[in-house]
Structures are given as C-alpha cells and as structure tokens.
Amino acid sequence: MSADSPPGDAWRTTIAVDAMGGDHAPAAVVAGAVAAAAELNVDVILAGRSAQLAPLLAAVQAPAHGNSSGRPAVAREQVRIAAAEDTLGMDEGALASWRRPRSSVAIACQLVRRGQVAAVVSAGSTGGIVAAARLRLRSLPGVMRPGLAVVLPTQPGPTLLVDAGAIADPKPEMLVAFAQLGVAYAQVAHGIAEPRVGLLTIGAEPGKGNRLARRAHELLASAPPHGGLPIRFVGNVEGSDLLSGKADVIVTDGFTGNVALKAVEGATAYAAQQMRDALQGSAPARFGTLFQRRGLRDLRGRMDAETYGGAALLGLEGTVVIAHGASTAKGITSACRLAADLAHGQITEKIKERFGPGRGGYFLRRSRADGQA
C-alpha cells in the first residue's frame, strides 16, 4: 500500500528497526526500512546513531530519489529516528547485550516494551538480539523461553522450524511450548488452519531419539495442560524431512535445530555449486546453459534466503524478527514485511489464546539446571 493511505488506518503498524545491526549497516538497513515504509502499510522507527542516520535518511527521502526509483514517495513522518548511541558488534554475544542498555537493539526493544511499536527488526548477531530481547521484553504468560522460528523453503508450502537456536538445552515441556508458538505462526503467516506438527528426531517410532526427544514425544502426544489448545501432532520426523513437506511445523531443541538449519543451508549451497560446476565444466556444457537461463533464474529466486524475511523470536510481548547478518536492503524490507504480517495477524494474541487460561502452570517452577543464558 502506498504512502497516501490514511495514517489512521486500522491495519497500520509501527516497526522499530535496529539501524546499526548487520554487515551492511547502517546504509543498507536505512534503504531497506525506507522501502518497507513506502511499499508496505507500516511506519518505521530507526534505532541508531542520529548523526549517521539523519544524512542517510535525507538522501533516500529526497523527492528526486523517490521519483527516479519509481517507488512511491515516503512521507517524512513515516520514518523517524530513535537515538541510540551505542552498538552491539556482530561478533558480540549474549553478555554484551546486558552491558549495553543504550545499544540500538536494546533501544528498539524498549520501544516495544513501552507499546510504541509492535515489532523489532534487526540484522545483528542472533545471540546478542536474543539476549537483549529476553532481557527487555516480558515473556508471554505460559512461555518460559522464547523460540526462534525459521521458514524452510519446502514445496509446495513452507515448513517452520522451531527452535532454530534460542535455547541450547531446553526442557521437554519447552518443546511443547515451541509447538504452540509455531502453530500460531503458521496460522498467521502461512494461512494454515490446522498446522501439522512433527518432532525432529532419529527414527519414526515413538521410542526413538535421545532422552529429550522421547519425553517431548510423550508430552506432544498428550492433551496440552491447563486448557491450552490441542496440537495436531503427526509424530516423529527425521533430518531428511526438513524439506520434505511432511509437517508444517517441526519442533526441536535450539542446538539440534541450529545445526540442522545450517546443515540444510550448507548442503543446498554445496549441491548448487557442484551442479553449476557440472553445467559450466566444458564449452558445450556452457553453451547448453544459454537455453536454461529462465529456469535457473527462477530457481535462484526460490532458494534465495533474502526473500524469506528472517527468523522470528516468538513468545515475547512483541515480535522480534532477526534478518540475516549479510542482509542487503532487500533482505531488510523482507524482514519488515514478515514483522508487519505477524503484527497484523495479531500473533501475540494468538499465542496467548493457544496457551489457554491456566497457561502459567507449565513453566512456573524454574529448574536448578536452568542456568544457561
């Protein structure tokens, strides 16, 4: 929707963007956020160093630019700056975010906390963002730990993997909570009424897997406690099912999920490279590719991580979307679109509903072994 929509639009939402996070920050982030404000039905608050952001913003908002790019013009009040004089480096992890209350990502989270924005977008380091968000945003009732949800580009529909790396050593009960978070996401963002939930493990039978997976299977197969909404559990899935479309939501611990996600990314890139080498290996083979340009271009688009918007940290009061660290402006715009879609779909309300009225029960007791960040 263009910038001339009425500002009082019921669907209009505001997103905070961490302008200092990511390999190409702040220039690519500013450009991507301005494009989001122009193309989507959102206002944006950029958190970061005013001295750096103001000139970048002025440059992309200049009318000449707006016209020459053919994009709808962005009204000045649609993109504002929230001053944050500190930044979190890409190599800084969880601890740094505790020490940096004035970092751009911390300021962005505070905007959510105060109710000024509905969601945060950042292309900073995942560990830093997760820690900052957990420190500054309340958990939703029933969710002790947020889960990181990542979309896998399966055909025909996407598959959601939760947790892709937020909690390395979760309790079995948390995998049930991840299932509820994933179901809410798949309903809101993928339009699936009753998402099929699978448990990532190493064998099809219920007794297969490590201790965590075996116990999680029992819990997922039982009715959810405390009046939570039922889950459509389809049983165990294996590593080979991540791209098979066998489940709409796949739950696992953050350690296995992160290894599996990166294994899929690495193997896909490896196979594509091997295939390219095979296609380019000789002069006749290269000649052959002339006839395949369109098909190969479509495939690249489909496999491109930048079109998927990034990972969403779910289960907090306010959604946090983590874009890839190497995101260009296009990647930031996609991340803003995902954040806006989740906010418009009222994901937070959907999650609260799924955990039911007695939802506090599962996680009220903190276990002793629960010391990790």
CB of 215 vs a second copy, minimal distance in Å: 12
Rounded to a whole number of angstroms, the minimum distance from the CB of residue 207 to a second copy is 8
- Going by C-alpha positions, the residue among 272, 243, 132, 248 that lies closest to residue 195 is 248
Closer to a second copy at the Cβ: 2 or 367?
367
Residue nearer to a second copy on the CB measure, 2 or 274: 274
Minimal distance, residue 216 CB to a second copy, in Å: 12
**Three-class SS state of 79:** strand
Q: What is the closest distance, in whole angstroms, from the C-beta atom of residue 285 to a second copy in the complex?
A: 4
Min separation Cβ 366 and a second copy, Å: 17
Angle between helix 50-61 and 27-39 (nearest 10):
50
- Return the number of other C-beta atoms located less than 10 Å from residue 109's C-beta: 28
Which residue, among 8, 11, 30, 9, has the nearest Cα to 19 in the 3D structure?
30
Give the number of other Cβ atoms within 10 Å of residue 230's Cβ.
10
Q: Which is nearer to a second copy, 62 or 303 (CB)?
A: 303
| ∠ Cα 73 75 77 (to 5°) | 160
Comparison of 127 and 331: residue with beta carbon closer to a second copy: 127
Per-residue tokens: 314: 């779910």
Distance CA 233, CA 24 (A): 41
Of the pair 62, 275, the CB lying nearest a second copy is at 275
Q: Bridge partners of 319?
A: 119
- In single-letter form, the type of residue at position 250 comes to I
> Could you tell me the smallest distance in angstroms from the CB atom of residue 263 to a second copy?
4
- Residue 195 is encoded by which pair of tokens? 């998402």
Q: Can you give the binding site for a second copy, defined by CB under 8 A?
A: 93, 127, 155, 165, 168-169, 200-203, 205, 208-211, 213, 238-244, 252-256, 258-272, 274-275, 277-279, 281-282, 284-285, 287-292, 294-296, 298-299, 302-303, 372
Cβ atoms of residues 213 and 171 within 8 Å = no
DSSP letters of 45-76? Answer: EEEE-HHHHHHHHHHHHSHHHHHHTTPPP--G
Q: Which is nearer to a second copy, 27 or 264 (CB)?
A: 264
Nearer to a second copy, 59 or 272 (CB): 272
Q: How far is the CB of 53 from a second copy (least distance, A)?
A: 30
